[in-house]
Amino acid sequence: MSDLSIHSLKEKLEQISIKSLLLPLCGIIIFIMLWQVGASRVHTSLGVFPGPAVVYEQWGNLISEHQSERVKEQRFYERQEDRIAKRQAKDPDYVGKIRSYTGKPTFFDQIFTSLYTVLAGFGLACLIAIPLGILIGLNNAVYSALNPVIQVFKPVSPLAWLPLVTMVVSATYVSDDPIFSKSFLTSMFTVTLCCMWPTLINTAVGVAAVEKDLLNVSKVLRLGWFTHVMKIVIPSAIPLMFTGLRLSLGIAWMVLIAAEMLAQNPGLGKFVWDEFQNGSSNSLGRIMVAVLMIGFIGFLLDRAMLMVQRFVSWDKTQILR
């Protein structure tokens, strides 16, 4: 390759990278400007709707509160350790017990709670939806039997599932020393019931749409059922399967926030509801911080799923967005 062609290729790559950075940046700047103009004209019972500057200020306050709470937690454990050490100095046989810190969860604690809850619910949904979708796609009889059930339960709102799940968990999960809290299980199962359908349906469609040439190759090679599924069916169905997974993960995140708000289970949804009920002058700004964080986390989850798809997909030339 000549120096001229290499130079022109570098210029094109630089233009593409600059364009890919400038366009999103312009979009963000325009959004912030419109947000500021629109917010200043909206007056609520708690004051003017928060603009970007107010939201940034509340973001700083939430960080400070988190740091302050961690300092309190550290001092709480240090006091217990000192008390136990003094007691053991007098009585060497004394065995102290460290009590858990029960302070108010911070904004970042709520983020962590929501994240592991949604990932647990989404993971359980995948364990159910992917094998069942493969079975439905491979067998017309199974499809005919299960399709009515899927179409009935697919549009059910999380607000309808939540009371039922809450009652079932309360009635069946009875333990003096539970591994998981009931609030976690309630949120997780609600997420699972609501987000599994896109993955189930897209997996079934992808499996059913495997090219006939590939099926003929499998027959010629006399592949076993498991080998046929692993080597032929799943690689061919990956594009549609991951379309369903990305949709399911987005739905899971939305459902979780709604479930946490309604059931007052720990997480970002509860944080939003508590701030709304608080009704202070800072509440709107803090709610807006949570809204932006919910959207940003949803974006990161989708990008993470896209990266996984690129890694496992056999067609590396496929354009994924």
Higher pLDDT, 185 or 228: 185
129-177 residue pLDDT tens: 999 999 999 999 999 999 999 999 999 988 899 999 999 998 988 887 7
279: left (phi over 0), alpha (psi -120 to 50) or beta: left
**What is the band of 223 on the pLDDT scale with cuts at 50, 70, 90?**
confident
Q: Are residues 78 and 85 in contact, defined by beta-carbon separation less than 8 angstroms?
A: no
Render pLDDT for 284-312 as a digit per residue (tens, 0 to 9).
Answer: 999 999 999 999 999 999 999 988 888 88
Angle at 242 between CA 240 and CA 243, to 5 degrees: 60
- Indicate the average pLDDT of the chain: 87
d(CA 205, CA 226): 19
What lies within 8 Å, CB to CB, of 143 at 6+ separation is 136, 137, 204, 208
Strand partners, 47: 44
What's this model's pTM, rounded to 2 decimal places?
0.86
Question: Residue 258 — very low, low, confident or very high, per pLDDT cuts 50/70/90?
Answer: very high
Supply the DSSP symbol for 98. P
Taking the mean position of all CA atoms in its chain, how far away is CA 267?
A: 12
Q: In the 8-state DSSP scheme, what is residue 229?
A: I
Q: What is the pLDDT of residues 41-65, one digit of tens each?
A: 888 877 788 989 999 999 999 999 9
DSSP states along 114-127: HHHHHHHHHHHHHH
Q: How far does CA 241 lie from the centroid of its chain?
A: 18
C-alpha span between 266 and 185 (Å, rounded): 11
CA pair distance 266, 64, nearest whole angstrom: 21
